[in-house]
Amino acid sequence: MLYLVEHFYSIQGEGKFSGVPSLFFRFGGCNLKCAGFGTRYIVDEVEKVGCDSFYAVDSNFRSSWQEIGNLDQLISIFQHYHQNISHVVLTGGEPLIYVSNPVFLQFLQYLKSKNFHITIETNGTIAVPEIDIFRNITYSIALKLSNSGEEFQKRINIEAIRSIVRISKSTFFKFTIDQKAILQGADREISDIAKLFPNIPIYCMAIGRDREELEKNSPAVVDFCIKNSYIYSDRIHIRLWNGEKGY
């Protein structure tokens, strides 16, 4: 079963396509938990910790996710939106947990047949098969560092990254850090990956679940990018909408 958490039309808030009007499909489920990002939320009166997309990660929220059993359900969602859409972003959770899901594959085929530019936002831990349907897609690979709280073996899968880099000429890495991560060696963690993939652009952005946290963490990340020649990415949606869902 394919689960859809939400869909909305907004601007891309971060990374290479910042500012580009985009139709977002957020799929439910993730193979990581990333408690290190420290977003606290309550389920059945129990406090849990996860990332800022916890409602698309934690299966306790599944009852609020839409079950998608066929392509027509996704196509009908397009009919809610106007005709000038050119960029479609598939995000999550981790959308590539559906890498073998027939409806997900049909959806990619449909989007390509309509000439949409597709970006898949992934954590880079799931290999993409070398088949045409996965070509000519932008992969925004948000690799997780030790500040995510996940074990190295879970969060870094070099073969999966290689499979994506092999199939797409439009790939970039995105790292989410703050001053603490910088002091704890984010430069070494990132450069260890960069050495293996020297041609892939690297964007760094600040941890920030809301405007205040983003503003607090951004200056250190800007300095870090200047020092290391990485590309600073802001998080426009956080600045504008303060971390509200649906933007």
Q: Does 30 bind ligand SF4 (CB under 6 A)?
A: yes
Q: Does 51 bind ligand SF4 (CB under 6 A)?
A: yes
Q: Does 33 bind ligand SF4 (CB under 6 A)?
A: yes
Q: Does 186 bind ligand SF4 (CB under 6 A)?
A: no
Q: Does 206 bind ligand SF4 (CB under 6 A)?
A: no
- Bridge partners of 27, per DSSP, are 4
Q: Does 141 bind ligand SF4 (CB under 6 A)?
A: no
Q: Does 120 bind ligand SF4 (CB under 6 A)?
A: no
Closest CA to 193 of 178, 172, 168: 172
Q: Does 217 bind ligand SF4 (CB under 6 A)?
A: no
Q: Does 39 bind ligand SF4 (CB under 6 A)?
A: no
Task: Determine the interface stretch with ligand SF4 among 20-28, 31-39, 73-81, 192-200 (rule: CB under 6 A).
Answer: 31-39
Backbone φ, ψ for residue 3 (5° rounding): -115, 130
Q: Does 145 bind ligand SF4 (CB under 6 A)?
A: no
Among the listed residues 12, 22, 53, 147, the single contact to ligand SF4 using CB under 6 A: 53
Backbone φ, ψ for residue 162 (5° rounding): -55, -40
Instruction: Considering the complex, state which of residue 94 and residue 234 has its C-beta at the smaller distance from ligand SF4.
Output: 94
CB atoms within 10 A of CB 115: 8
Among the listed residues 119, 123, 147, 233, the single contact to ligand SF4 using CB under 6 A: 123
Q: What angle do CA 168, 171, 173 make, to 5 degrees?
A: 150
Among the listed residues 32, 182, 202, 205, the single contact to ligand SF4 using CB under 6 A: 32
Residues 6+ apart with CB under 8 A from 27: 2, 3, 4, 5, 56, 90, 91, 92, 93, 94, 95, 97, 98, 104
Helix (H) and strand (E) counts for the chain? Answer: 9, 11
User: In whole angstroms, how close is the CB of 239 to ligand SF4 at the nearest point?
Assistant: 19
Among the listed residues 2, 23, 34, 74, the single contact to ligand SF4 using CB under 6 A: 34
Can you give the length of the chain in residues? 247
The H or E element that residue 46 is part of is strand 46-50
Among the listed residues 92, 124, 149, 243, the single contact to ligand SF4 using CB under 6 A: 92
